Each structure stands twice: as C-alpha cells, then as structure tokens.
Structure 1
Amino acid sequence: AQGSDSAKLDTTASIAISSDGSGSDHVYNKTESAAAVVSGTTTGVDAGQTVTVTFTDSANHVVTATATVAANGSWTVPASSLSGLLDGPVTVKASVSDVAGNLASASVSEVKDTTATIAISSDGSGSDGVFNKTESAAAVVSGTTTGVEAGQTVTVTFTDSANHVVTTTATVAANGSWTVPASSLSGLVDGAVTVKATVSDVVGNSATASNTDSKDTVATIAISSDGSGSDHVYNSTESSAVVVSGSTGSVEAGQTVTVTFTDSQGHTASSTATV
C-alpha cells in the first residue's frame, strides 16, 4: 500500500509598531500618558490573533493592553492610562503569535515626563496683597519652576473684576527661576486682581499658579476747617489753639493724618490725628 502526506512549513511571523502614542518627540507628556494608543502591523499573522502590548517603567511596573489583528494585518490597542508608571524610561513592547505558534515581538524605548510646576514667589503687591499707587505703576512678578527647561516662556496675566488684562512674559533661567519686567497696572480698575503665571515644558506639560490680590490706588483728603476763620487769618486768639478738621476718601479707619503749618521762613508746627 502506498500513502502520501503533505505539510506546509510556516516559520514566519512579524510585527511592527507604527505609533505608540508618544508623539514625534517620543516622550509621553501628561496628556499623552492619560490615553496612550498603540497601533501597528503584522505579516504572516492570521486575522483574529491577539496582540499584547506592554508598557514597562524603570521599576518594572507594567500596563498591559490587547488588540485583535485585522484582515489586513493591522492592529490598534485601546487608549491606555500610564498613570501607574513612573516618570522616566518606558519600554513599549508588542507581541503576537500566528496560529502555527510562531512568536513575533517588537519594542521601542520611550520616556514618560508628566511633571511641570510653577510657583509665584512675589507678585509685586507687597506683604499686604494690595497694589497701591506706587506698586501699580511697576509691578514685578517673580517665581520658580520645576521640571521646566531653561528658555521656556512664562506668561503672567493681571486680570481685574471687569476682565481687563495686562500680560507680560519672562524666560525660565537655568535654575528654574523667572522674573517678568515691571508692568503698569494703570489699565486695571481698582478692586480684585488675579495674578496668574503659566508655563509649559518642552514636551507640552503645562503648569499654572495664581494669586488673588487687590488694587487700591485712590486715597483723598480734604480740609474742612483750618481754624483761621472765614477771613483765613490767624489772629492772636486763633493762633493759640488752632483746630484743623477734614475728611478722607478710601482711607481706612485708624490711619494717621499729619497736619503741618509752615511759615514764610520755613518754620513748621505739626500735629497728628486719627481717621
């Protein structure tokens, strides 16, 4: 008796990663790390086979996702959160087997960088948090950053209650510090003022800090009576006990009013009162 048998030799399967969701800079920033989509192609792999993708950080924490090979050999895993991985090196690996058991894998080395911070050290309003007339004429804001490269731009805005905005910029120094030039707040109305600083690192992570201050540039004072009478002449009686009174506007209770009398020879007499 004679018999025959035939078999097909299948030893080839390959897989490639076309995109791993890290962008052209190969760095997962905060936004990309929240929803990393990996896609690629296979050859010699049957439709319906499962592709397993792993993201592994330097501490061997692993995020795993799977996809199914399409009829044309392509595959795409759903968006994966990399929040469980540390910042730093990340290895992205895709693995698949064909129905004959041939294993194929591909990997790429990327970086995760999701951290950028900014802080305002001084916003020019002083310890009272109020921009007075002098401070409003030249408000200087300074602060620090972490995880932000030297040369990046910090944008500072001053916004009043009517949404008028004054904008200025600064450059991050090598040590992470920044200082914007003196800005005039004359275009803002008195009242609440929000000082906001924003920056992004080179991979697109943004950071914001803000202070809530106020602007108060108006103070007025008027003399209602200076004790000289309607003739505006201090006679001997009036000169012995001069009483001066008046009113103020936008001046807090408890502030000190200083009254000075100066003659033609530059001689002075002074007295004080409390608002």
Structure 2
Amino acid sequence: MDAIMNSSRIIPAVAVPEGAGVIVHRTIGTPVLRDYDPFLLLDHISSNNPDDYIAGFPSHPHRGFTTFTYIIDGHMMHQDDMGNSGDLRPGSAQWMKAASGIIHSEMPQQENGLLRGFQLWINLPAANKMDPPEYQEYSAEAFPVVETPDYTLKVLIGRFADAHAPIMDNITDVTYFDVQVRPGKHFQHRLPPGKNSLLYVFEGSGQFNAQIVPSHSLVIFDTDDHSFDFIAGKEGARFIVVSGKPIHEPIARHGPFVMNTREEIDQAMWDFQTNTFVRDRAWIKRNR
C-alpha cells in the first residue's frame, strides 16, 4: 500500500425534498459542496415511511450529463417519453446517459416498506453533451461480488481486482463499489491516481484514517496520496466508494440541465418549452 492518507473532508448529508416531495439525503449538490468534478450530485434515499417517497419523480427532463441509479431495497420503475422503460428492483442499477436530452419519470412501485438507494449525476465533457442518449441497465445478479474475511464488495461500475462490472464508463472512467465491512475489520484500498474519489457511509460507522465517520456522511479525498484504511465500528459499516476522471471544464447549471455556457442552458430551456427537446431515441443495453 502507498502511504496512508492524512487529509480528507467529512461532509454530513442534508435532508432535502426532491421530485414531487421525495426526501433525499444530499451531499454533493448543496451550498457546502456544489460539485466535485466530474460529480454533480449525490442523493441517498432511505426510508420506511411511504410519505417520504411515494410521490416519486414525475416526468422531468435531463440534458448534458449521465445519471447512475442504484436500488438497494424497494422497487422503482423508470419510463421515458420515447417508450423506453426499466424496472429497478433490489440490487439492480441503471446508467442513463441523458446527453442531448431525455424526458423521463422514476416512480416507486410500492406503497410501504423500505425504499433505499442512490442517484449520482456525472458530468459529460462539452464534446459529449449532445451525444445520443443511452441506457445500461442490469439486475442484481449481473454484478460481481468480491468476498474476503473482512469485507464484501459489489462492483457496480468499472472493475475491482479481477472482477469486472457490466457497466463501463469510457468517458469519465468512473468506478463505483458497494462495500460492507464486518465489525472491527479493515477495508484498505488504493484509489486510482488522477481521479477524484469519494466515500459515503450509509450503514453503521467507522474510522477513516483515524477520523470518526458516522452514517450519512461523505468523505472527500483532499490529497494526492492514493490509499486509505477504513475500520468498521462495532456494528460494522457499509459505504460506497466512487472515483471519476475530472473534466476541468466550465459548468453552467440550471435545474436538470448542465452545460458549459449560459447560452446552452437557454437553448435547452427553449427546446423544452417548444417540444423540440428530445432529438434521439435512447439506445438500451440490459441483461436478460
């Protein structure tokens, strides 16, 4: 391992209403951390109370970026205005490259019980913002799992050791892991150099390089070192670890539109208002 990191930021999630009133725990996309190149937003849904999620996310547009949705518990249905649909059940995930434009909805398919998962927004470079939209969608069984005596790791995007996820990102080279560490055990990991990386704890707690990290907290890596040691607390811990290649381009942002200039945002708003927003039908790739 490289020298262990000794510099990081710990950012607690804030509860905010989204969609038609869904309560999400947000870390990226707030006044504290507006973005973390290439990441634009990180929302965590976690509730047994249907009042927190039942209204869902009715039809809304996206342009200029990619969303990655990971459902851990519960049932969510996706549909877009071109007739595409997806059924996200426990352990499944969807990579949606909105790019030139998609109008879609994401609606819970349950009236009670636990709904839990994440949505991550990933920026696209200027050269790819108006690409045709695409989907990559897979059930829980499609994602490889790495088991060790200390932890269990699910590979959702990219690869970990010899395990390769079915979802690959050839633009910002994102990797995304769901890690469960057993009580008192370690997870030591070498982060990819040249990328921005984050860790979000959503079950239990632990120590990150000797710093206490409670549940619903984001760790941002503020150093050029590339290794860390996470020690789970007495109840164990579960977290996501995400890395991506920064784009280093200007960001112009207005709600569901993320472009490079204000003029491009104005064009997106005009296209949406004049019903010329969706230019290409999305291509779908999913397991059967």
**TM-score, normalisation: structure 1:** 0.20
Larger-gyration structure (1/2): 1
**TM-score, normalisation: structure 2:** 0.19
Higher strand share: 2
